[in-house]
Amino acid sequence: NAGVMQNPRHLVRRRGQEARLRCSPMKGHSHVYWYRQLPEEGLKFMVYLQKENIIDESGMPKERFSAEFPKEGPSILRIQQVVRGDSAAYFCASSPGWDYNEQFFGPGTRLTVL
């Protein structure tokens, strides 16, 4: 059973470009969480999604950031018009349900904005 997959693992963008980060949850998992880790800091929750629904986006910046988890395919975290401050590691995690004890994390996508 493959773990959570994220791609790309490393992404370089210039200021003003768009970044698309993909997350494929573990098989059988319908709940996805996105976290951001700035350099030398702990992970910060961004958004929690179920298939086709955003459940909690309280940690998402109000502008330029969006997330989706369509019925088919991976979850996508989209950052429009990236700025240098968006440079960070973005992790996604999945679980079979909201009340499942463990979240399974992917390896992360490291975004560098030049």
Partner 1 sequence: DAKTTQPPSMDCAEGRAANLPCNHSTISGNEYVYWYRQIHSQGPQYIIHGLKNNETNEMASLIITEDRKSSTLILPHATLRDTAVYYCIVVSSGSARQLTFGSGTQLTVLP
Which residues sit at the interface with partner 1, rule CB under 8 A? 4, 33, 35, 41-45, 48, 55-56, 58-59, 89, 91, 93, 95, 98-108
- Least distance CB 81 / partner 1 (angstroms): 26
- State which amino acid sits at residue 63: E
| Nearest distance, CB of residue 16 and partner 1, angstroms | 27
CB of 38 to partner 1, least distance (A): 11
Nearer to partner 1, 19 or 49 (CB): 49
Query: Positive or negative CA dihedral for 61, 64, 70, 76?
Result: negative
**Of residues 79 and 92, the one with the C-beta less far from partner 1:** 92
Handedness of CA 50, 12, 107, 42 (dihedral sign): negative
Single-letter residue type at 112: T
Residues 75, 55: Cα–Cα separation, whole Å = 14
Nearer to partner 1, 59 or 74 (CB): 59
Distance CA 71, CA 52 (A): 6
